[in-house]
C-alpha cells in the first residue's frame, strides 16, 4: 500500500470512529467504492480516493465551517493560481516549511491546502484544530482544484488577480488606453485592474480558455458521484 493510500485508510478510520462504524469494515467499503469509481469514470485510483474522501468529509460536515480563503503549501503554487481564477483568496509562499506554513495558515485565518500526507498527520491538522485539505501531488492542478471544490462545497465566483489574489475592479477603457496593447484595444472594451498589485487584465483568449476549464471542472464535480451501496 502506498503512503497516500495509507493516509486515506487512516482518514476513513477516523471518520468511521466519528460515525460509530467499525473502522476496518468502513475503510474496506470505501476503498472498494474508490476502485469502482476509478473503473466506472476512468480515473486514477488516487483521484478516486480523493473524491471518496472529499464526499465523506463534506457529508459528515467536517469542512462545513472551514474558511473560504486558502494557504497552499510550497508545492502547490499552480493550485493557488487556479483558486484565484475561481474567485478565492489564495496565498502561497515557497519559503515556508511545514511548521511555518501551519502557523501562517492560522495567522491568516485560512484553510491550509497541502499534498504532504505526513504533515496532515500532525495533531493540529489531523484533529481539525487547523482546517486543512489534502490533495494528491499526482493530480493535475485542475484535478486538485476539483478536489478542493468538492470537499469544501465551493462554487465559482468572480475571478481574482492570478498573480497576487487581489480584487479585480472594472476600469474605463479610456483611462487605461496607454496600457492596452493596440491590437487588443481594437476588439475588447472591458478591462480590470488589480486593487493590490495594479496589474491590468482583460478577458482575452487566454482567459476564455481558463473560464472553459473552470466550467468543465464545475460540471465534472456534479457528474461524478459515489457508487451506491
* Three-state secondary-structure class, residue 170: strand
Distance of CA 54 to the CA centre of its chain: 11
Give the dihedral of Cα atoms 104, 107, 113, 119; nearest 10 deg. 60
Tell me the C-alpha distance between 160 and 165, whole Å. Answer: 5
> Residue 71, Cβ neighbours under 10 Å: how many?
27
Give the dihedral of Cα atoms 210, 214, 220, 225; nearest 10 deg. 140
Count of structural domains within the chain: 1
Whether 31 is in a domain gets the answer yes
Whether 104 is in a domain gets the answer yes
Which pLDDT belongs to residue 225? 44
Name the helix (H) or strand (E) containing 18: helix 3-19
Strand partners, 168: 194
Whether 89 is in a domain gets the answer yes
Q: Which of 83, 150, 81, 145 is CA-nearest to residue 115?
A: 145
Which pLDDT belongs to residue 222? 54
Whether 26 is in a domain gets the answer yes
Whether 52 is in a domain gets the answer yes
Whether 148 is in a domain gets the answer yes
pLDDT tens, the chain, 229 aa long: 799 999 999 999 999 998 999 989 999 999 999 999 999 999 999 999 999 999 999 989 999 999 999 999 999 999 999 999 999 999 998 888 899 999 999 999 999 999 999 999 999 998 889 999 999 999 999 999 999 999 999 989 999 998 899 999 999 999 999 999 998 998 889 999 999 999 999 888 778 888 888 888 777 665 554 443 3
Domain that holds residue 54: 3-159+208-223
* C-beta separation of 160 from 85 below 8 A: yes
Say how many CA atoms lie within 13 Å of 136 toward its Cβ: 24
* Three-state secondary-structure class, residue 212: helix
The dihedral region occupied by 204, where left means phi > 0, alpha psi between -120 and 50, and beta the remainder, is beta
Which pLDDT belongs to residue 119? 93
Whether 190 is in a domain gets the answer no
Whether 229 is in a domain gets the answer no
Q: Residues of 181-220 as b/e, b for ≥16 C-beta within 10 angstroms? A: eeeeeeeeeebbbbeeeeeebbeeeeeeebeebbeebbee
What pTM does this model have? Answer: 0.87
Which pLDDT belongs to residue 89? 95
Amino acid at each position: 500500500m502506498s503512503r497516500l493510500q495509507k493516509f486515506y485508510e487512516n482518514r476513513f478510520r477516523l471518520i468511521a470512529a466519528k460515525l460509530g462504524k467499525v473502522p476496518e469494515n468502513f475503510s474496506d467499503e470505501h476503498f472498494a467504492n474508490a476502485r469502482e469509481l476509478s473503473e466506472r469514470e476512468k480515473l486514477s485510483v488516487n483521484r478516486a480516493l480523493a473524491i471518496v474522501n472529499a464526499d465523506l468529509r463534506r457529508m459528515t460536515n467536517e469542512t462545513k465551517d472551514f474558511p473560504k480563503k486558502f494557504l497552499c503549501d510550497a508545492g502547490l503554487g499552480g493550485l493557488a493560481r487556479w483558486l484565484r481564477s475561481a474567485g478565492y483568496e489564495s496565498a502561497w509562499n515557497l519559503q515556508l516549511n511545514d511548521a511555518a506554513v501551519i502557523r501562517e495558515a492560522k495567522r491568516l485565518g485560512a484553510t491550509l491546502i497541502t499534498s504532504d500526507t505526513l504533515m496532515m498527520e500532525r495533531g493540529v491538522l489531523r484533529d481539525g484544530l487547523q482546517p486543512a485539505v489534502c490533495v494528491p501531488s499526482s493530480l493535475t492542478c485542475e484535478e486538485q482544484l476539483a478536489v478542493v471544490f468538492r470537499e469544501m462545497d465551493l462554487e465559482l465566483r468572480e475571478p481574482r488577480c492570478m498573480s497576487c489574489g487581489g480584487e479585480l475592479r472594472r476600469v474605463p477603457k479610456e483611462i487605461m488606453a496607454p496600457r492596452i496593447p493596440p491590437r487588443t484595444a481594437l476588439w475588447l472594451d472591458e478591462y480590470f485592474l488589480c486593487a493590490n498589485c495594479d496589474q491590468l487584465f482583460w478577458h482575452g483568449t487566454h482567459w476564455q480558455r481558463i473560464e472553459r476549464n473552470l466550467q468543465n471542472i464545475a460540471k465534472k464535480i456534479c457528474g461524478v458521484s459515489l457508487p451506491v451501496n
